[in-house]
Structures are given as C-alpha cells and as structure tokens.
Amino acid sequence: MQLICNHCQAEQDELKADVRKTYLPNGGYHLSVYCHSCNKFIKNLPHSKPQILHFGKHKGKPIATIALEDESYLRWLSTQDIKESLKSAILYELERKNARTTQSSFSLP
C-alpha cells in the first residue's frame, strides 16, 4: 500500500516505510510510520495482535474477520463518528482484503 506524506507529498511503500515503536505512558505502544523525506509522522499502524470490535453486531470478532464476512458493515462503520485508531484499523483491513482480492484475480494459471 502506498502512503503519501501530508507534509511533503512524498510517496512511499508501507512495507518499506520508516516504522518506529512509540511507547505510551500506560505501558503499551504504537507502531508509527514516518516520512523518509521530511521525517514527519504519517500514521499509526495496526498492531500484530488482531484488533477486536467491542460493540455492534460483530462484537467480539477481529476486524480482519469482519472484513472478509461483512465488508459493507465496515465501510459503513468507517463513515461514523468513531475513534481514529479504530477507523485506521478498519480501513487498513479493508485495503488488505482488497489487495488480496486484486492479487488473486491477476495470478497466472
């Protein structure tokens, strides 16, 4: 997935991006992406531990699972007034799902 820096407009591949672990006061951490060109923060990445939805009709399910089972629900949820970290995780999983679908449709026999 391509990331675009909001400060300098530089494009970079998320898989090759400058990822740093930012520790939080409560003992947790964020995986944060920074721009190679201007060294500014771009976004936080979802943790390797699957993010679970804690409300709604898919309460208790990982967002990655919901993306496969009910994509339209996650698309709708991403337009609602929710935490930015949850919205980022939803959009990330939807992009991953669509990337896998695109890759499989172009695979050679």
Q: What is the pLDDT of residues 7-50, one digit of tens each?
A: 999 988 776 778 888 877 767 778 888 998 899 998 887 666 77
Average pLDDT score over residue span 61-69: 92
Q: Do residues 62 and 49 make contact, with C-beta atoms less than 8 angstroms apart?
A: no
Domain boundary residue, one of 9, 24, 45? 45
Residue 53, pLDDT > 60, answer yes
Residues 106 and 53 in one domain: yes
Residues 23 and 57 in one domain: no
Find the helix or strand (DSSP H, E) in which 93 lies: helix 84-105
Per-residue pLDDT at 44:
84
Supply angle C-alpha 39, 41, 43, rounded to 5: 140
Residues 59 and 96 in one domain: yes
Residues 59 and 38 in one domain: no
pLDDT digits (tens, 9 = 90+) for 70-87: 999 999 999 999 998 899
Domain range enclosing 80: 48-109
Residues 5 and 41 in one domain: yes
Residues 23 and 53 in one domain: no
As for how many domains the chain has, the answer is 2
Question: pTM above the 0.75 mark?
Answer: no
SS3 category, 18 = strand
Q: Do residues 51 and 63 make contact, with C-beta atoms less than 8 angstroms apart?
A: yes
Residues 25 and 66 in one domain: no
Residues 52 and 90 in one domain: yes
